[in-house]
Chain A
């Protein structure tokens, strides 16, 4: 039998579903308040997860839709994709010294570059696939 309050590690363990099974939280307001505080910190931590650049997600969607539409990418598409990757790397290399994580605003230019480059270089559409993407263009978000 244990008595006394839960320590921090026990509270954290509880947060992850593996805390002590002595029912202490039911009877101790103090520990319950601490546990609730940890719970809201966990939620905050989840909210503060990194965002993903919309252009990256758009490119990823197109790639999936491409695969749905036509199987393996053509050699031409491969080359185009490689060209985009190379240009992005160049863009990064040319960029100023500290591309730290607070980069969403700093890289809205990247986003535009990505989109421009992507649209001009990578989007030489095989005829058969084009009508499929028409659907997405109309549905709104995919083509951004």
Chain B
């Protein structure tokens, strides 16, 4: 296999160690994908609102990542997590733009979602508090529908991914001021849910 790819994948698979042995490219890629997959998939779920579309988007994301690595995309090396996040965000935004008419048309049933997702118990003790925490989380996820694509992207990257708005701006190729304006509008639309979340 392509030696550039091998080297890149070895670095990506083991970012901490300098003595990374050249892994087989595909297995290196698979290992790296596995380490990022849950996060990327959940990001797509937040962006797209359902697990079916998110599955397709997550797959497309990794396929694009694979192809970009094959072409020697140097950005992959400096911060692979951020790089693949950006690919995922763009993939979701493309999907939203192209499928607007059918978007949100069908939310998979709770049964379908439960096959894929399982909510971790909330950290607070007591079943009532836990149920409330789950309810607020779900309400917030649902409320993301009220946001524009850009507002949702920015909110998701900040809230679920913990990215700073500066990072978000760089990822989206926007001015930080623009990102702040979108973030402020997103917060205004999510005010009720956030008040409850942080009550």
**Which residues of A are in contact with B by a Cβ distance under 8 Å?**
8-9, 11-13, 15-18, 38, 41-53, 56-57, 60-61, 63-65, 67-68, 88-89, 92-93, 95, 99-104, 107, 110, 114, 132, 135-136, 138-139, 141-142
What are 30 A-to-B residue pairs whose CB atoms are below 8 Å? A11-B198, A12-B194, A12-B198, A13-B187, A16-B186, A17-B180, A17-B183, A42-B159, A42-B198, A48-B119, A50-B118, A57-B34, A61-B34, A61-B37, A63-B59, A64-B62, A65-B26, A68-B26, A68-B29, A89-B112, A92-B111, A92-B112, A92-B114, A95-B111, A99-B114, A101-B118, A101-B138, A102-B121, A107-B115, A139-B27
**Which residues of B are in contact with A by a Cβ distance under 8 Å?**
24, 26-27, 29-31, 33-34, 37-38, 41-42, 55, 58-59, 62-63, 66, 110-123, 133-134, 137-138, 155, 158-160, 162, 164-165, 180, 183-184, 186-187, 191, 194-195, 197-198
The reply to whether A18 and B187 form a contact with Cβ atoms under 8 Å apart is yes
Q: Contacts of B27 on A, CB cut-off 8 Å?
A: 135-136, 138-139
The reply to whether B42 and A50 form a contact with Cβ atoms under 8 Å apart is yes
Q: Contacts of A61 on B, CB cut-off 8 Å?
A: 30, 33-34, 37
The reply to whether B30 and A65 form a contact with Cβ atoms under 8 Å apart is yes
CB of B136 to closest CB in A, whole Å: 9
Q: Contacts of A9 on B, CB cut-off 8 Å?
A: 191, 195
Q: Contacts of A53 on B, CB cut-off 8 Å?
A: 115-118
The reply to whether B117 and A50 form a contact with Cβ atoms under 8 Å apart is yes
The reply to whether A64 and B59 form a contact with Cβ atoms under 8 Å apart is yes
The reply to whether B41 and A52 form a contact with Cβ atoms under 8 Å apart is yes
The reply to whether A135 and B31 form a contact with Cβ atoms under 8 Å apart is no
The reply to whether B118 and A51 form a contact with Cβ atoms under 8 Å apart is yes
A68 to B117, CA, bound (A): 26
The reply to whether B117 and A101 form a contact with Cβ atoms under 8 Å apart is yes
A18-B184, A49-B119, A49-B120 are known; give 14 further A-B pairs, CB within 8 A: A12-B187, A46-B160, A52-B118, A56-B115, A61-B33, A64-B59, A64-B62, A64-B66, A65-B26, A67-B63, A102-B134, A103-B114, A107-B114, A114-B115
> Looking at A8, A16, A88, A114, which has the most chain B CB atoms within 10 Å of its CB?
A16
CB of A131 to closest CB in B, whole Å: 10
The reply to whether A48 and B120 form a contact with Cβ atoms under 8 Å apart is yes
Evaluate whether A136 and B30 lie within 8 angstroms (CB atoms) in the complex, with A64-B62, A104-B118 already known. Answer: yes
Q: Contacts of B63 on A, CB cut-off 8 Å?
A: 64, 67-68
Q: Contacts of A92 on B, CB cut-off 8 Å?
A: 111-112, 114-115
A67 to B56, CA, bound (A): 12
Q: Contacts of A100 on B, CB cut-off 8 Å?
A: 110, 114
The reply to whether A56 and B116 form a contact with Cβ atoms under 8 Å apart is yes
CB of B195 to closest CB in A, whole Å: 6
Q: Contacts of A60 on B, CB cut-off 8 Å?
A: 37, 41, 55, 58-59
The residue in chain A whose Cβ has the minimal distance to the Cβ of B13 is A139
